[in-house]
Amino acid sequence: MNLASDYPLLNVFWTMCWFFLWILWFMLLFRILIDLFRDDSLSGWAKAGWAIFLILLPFLGVFVYLIARGRGMGEREMAKAQKADEQFRAYVRESAGTSGEGSTADQLAKLTELRSAGHISDEEYAKAKAKILT
């Protein structure tokens, strides 16, 4: 029995296309479920309703979710990426040893704010300024 002659090359191509579309569909479905449960603006009942809708009618549920909440999905992903970038930058600054101290100009500006608010006296300001500048 020769299986290669029973399954021509074009059929292999179409089978591969359907297989990758099937994988793509499941990736989209899981991405929507992850977005649904990470969203803090929805109540528990709304999340449960969307989850039931996505499980019982997956094709319709995915399309309705993308139409109704697709823009918010992108905004939440962008906010998550920005937060991760800020955390990375804070980690790099902390590792480099510049997170707590700041630049000299920043420290002098903070001292000036403290003095103008009346939290420190002129003598304390002068001592702190001399310490920063040395």
How far is residue 3 CA from its own chain's centroid? Answer: 48
Together in a domain, 32 and 20: yes
Does one domain contain both 86 and 112? no
- DSSP letter assigned to residue 58: H
Q: How far is CA 132 from CA 81, 105, 110, 115, in A?
A: 36, 10, 12, 15
pTM of the model: 0.56
Q: What is the pLDDT of residue 97?
A: 61
Q: Are residues 82 and 130 in the same domain?
A: no
- Identify whether residues 107 and 92 lie together within a single domain: no
* Number of domains into which the chain is organized: 2
Considering the domain architecture, whether residues 78 and 121 belong to the same structural domain is answered as: no
115 and 83 in a common domain: no
Please identify which residue in the block is written with the tokens 């992903």: 77
> Residue-wise pLDDT tens for the chain (134 aa)?
555 567 777 888 889 999 999 999 999 999 999 999 988 888 999 999 999 999 999 899 999 999 999 889 989 999 999 999 999 998 887 777 654 556 777 888 888 998 998 888 889 989 988 888 87
Are 76 and 28 found together in one domain? yes
Does residue 91 sit in the same domain as residue 32? yes
Same domain as 91, residue 59:
yes
Same domain as 84, residue 96: yes
- All residues at 6 or more sequence positions from 129 whose CB lies less than 8 Å from its CB, including other chains: 108, 111
What number of CA atoms fall less than 13 Å from residue 123's CA on the CB side? 0
Look at residue 68 in the predicted model and tell me its pLDDT.
Answer: 92
Residue 39 shares a structural domain with residue 89: yes
Burial of 32 (0-12, 13-18, 19+ CB in 10 A): buried
- Residues of the domain holding 110: 102-134
DSSP secondary-structure letter at 101?
T
Contacts 24+ apart (CB under 8 A), 102-111: 104/132, 104/133, 107/132, 108/132
Instruction: Say if residue 108 is in the same domain as residue 96.
Output: no
